[in-house]
Amino acid sequence: MSTSDTLHVRVRRAIAAGDLSPAAFDEIALDLARFQADSVPPFGKLCKARGVDLTKASVADVPALPTDAFRYARIASHPETEDVRVFRTSGTTRGELRGQHPFRTLETYEAAALAWAMPCLFPGLRPERAIALVPDPSVVDDSSLSFMVQLFIDRLGMSATFALSLERGVDVAAVERAAEEARRAGSPTMVLSTAFGLALLLDAIGDRRLQLPERSRVMVTGGFKGRTREIPSAELYARTAQALGIAERDIVGEYGMTELSSQLYEPRLAEDPPSAPGTYRPPPWLRVEAADPETLRVLPRGSEGIARFVDLANVDSVGFVQTLDWVSVDERGDVRLFGRAPGAEPRGCSLALEDLFGDRSHRGPAA
């Protein structure tokens, strides 16, 4: 069994167990870092440039790869011929230069997605129908979000209506038909959408109400990056609840990204009263810390900084990922998301990219 296969098995066992002690997490994370430094050239180069000895380092010492690296290089431990799927970022703010996340196997990704969605999205509920305001994965096969939505639909056996296309926007008539069919059948329905997809639907229906059956829920993800308008989360949740005839607490935010294999969710269904929108809980196999934007060093809990992720499910890419999202992390590990880092690209991320690619003008597209 290869090192990659062994790590996949260890991570899936940790996911199935549903809990990880800090020591157990650190052990897998450091083994992952050593494997990836040897097998993923950009990550190995970053570790060397930062002078990190992975035989002695702690998890906090391991440098995190900026998400922009996924745009400029192939971030994978395996050759392209072994790819079973490549997820790509939307590219809304950088033209055609899109980040790429190759996968040699999807088994660990699927295990992670399902294991955390069940208690966060579906506690006490097995919805029979889904309305998906995301692109159909049969048409857009490189979207990690569409893949995840289809995974939920397949594993829960939901009948599904995909009602959003990149060219035509939301198919309001299809949503209305699906809602009417769900009402007639009395079938709890799961709406799976981006924030922008919900905004388009709300604009299209105006003051009309698409009453969903009791116990229906909504998962909403993403923001309005690159869009001409933005709706605050509290307003979006209130308008969605009114339009669909559901309680606001039954709207749950998801926080994920192409460069990760794990997702975070607002713990609204687990708390009474539900937490305000914008606070997300990671699964046990994902650690989130706020990092100093200048040095990229991990900050004490409660501090604000840019989000650093250690995702054990990222076996064949890089498990240590640095983003530009501005967050704070409390003692429990819950993440408060404030948006993107203010101002220009943080100096720490810029320097990390220079360690990898030199002068920014010499970077090429992802290979």
The Cα–Cα gap between 329 and 249 comes to: 22
Q: How far is CA 50 from CA 290, 323, 351, in A?
A: 19, 18, 11
Q: Is 358 left (phi over 0), alpha (psi -120 to 50) or beta?
A: left
Q: What's the pLDDT band for 363 if we cut at 50, 70, 90?
A: very low
In this model, does residue 167 exceed pLDDT 90?
Answer: no
Work out the burial of residue 114: count CB atoms within 10 Å of its CB; fewer than 13 is exposed, 13-18 middle, 19 or more buried: middle
Q: Helices 22-39 and 41-49: crossing angle, nearest 10°?
A: 110
Q: What is the pLDDT of residue 364?
A: 46
Token reading at 356: 């990898």
Average pLDDT over residues 324-342: 92
- The candidate with the shortest Cα–Cα distance to 15, out of 340, 330, 328, 282, is 282
Is the pLDDT at 288 greater than 90? The verdict is yes
pLDDT tens figures, 228-237: 457 888 999 9
Q: How far is CA 167 from CA 163, 170, 352, in A?
A: 12, 9, 37
**129 vs 198: CA distance, rounded Å:** 18
CA distance 113 to 22: 21
84-108 tens-digit pLDDT: 999 999 865 545 689 999 999 999 9
d(CA 59, CA 44): 15
Residue whose C-alpha is closest to residue 2's, from 37, 26, 35, 45:
35
Instruction: Give 36's contacts (C-beta < 8 A, 6+ positions apart).
Output: 43, 44, 77, 317, 318, 319
The string of pLDDT tens digits covering residues 240-284 is 999 999 999 999 999 999 999 999 999 999 887 877 789 999 999
Mean pLDDT of 157-178: 93
Residue 224 pLDDT greater than 80, yes or no: no
If DSSP codes are grouped into helix, strand and coil, which group holds residue 133?
strand
Q: What is the DSSP letter of 77?
A: S
| Residues of each domain in the chain carrying CATH 3.40.50 | 109-277
For domain 109-277, the CATH class is alpha beta
Q: Is 300 exposed, middle or buried (0-12, 13-18, 19+ CB in 10 A)?
A: exposed
Predicted confidence at residue 232, as pLDDT, reads 87
Contact at 8 Å (CB) between 219 and 254?
Answer: yes
- Give the separation between CA 321 and CA 305, rounded to whole angstroms: 14
Domain 3-86+282-362 has CATH 3.40.50.11030: no
Q: Which residues of 347-357 are buried (b: 16+ CB within 10 A; e: fewer)?
A: ebbebbbebbb
- Cβ distance 192 to 134 under 8 Å? yes
Instruction: Spell out the SS3 assignment of 257-317.
Output: CCCCCCCEECCHHHCCCCCCCCEEECCCCEEEEEECCCCCCECCCCCEEEEEEEECCCCCC
pLDDT range class, residue 6, cuts 50, 70, 90: very high
Which of 120, 154, 75, 158 minimizes the C-alpha distance to 266? 120
Domain boundaries for CATH 2.30.38.10 within the chain = 3-86+282-362
304-311 and 320-329 strand pairing: antiparallel
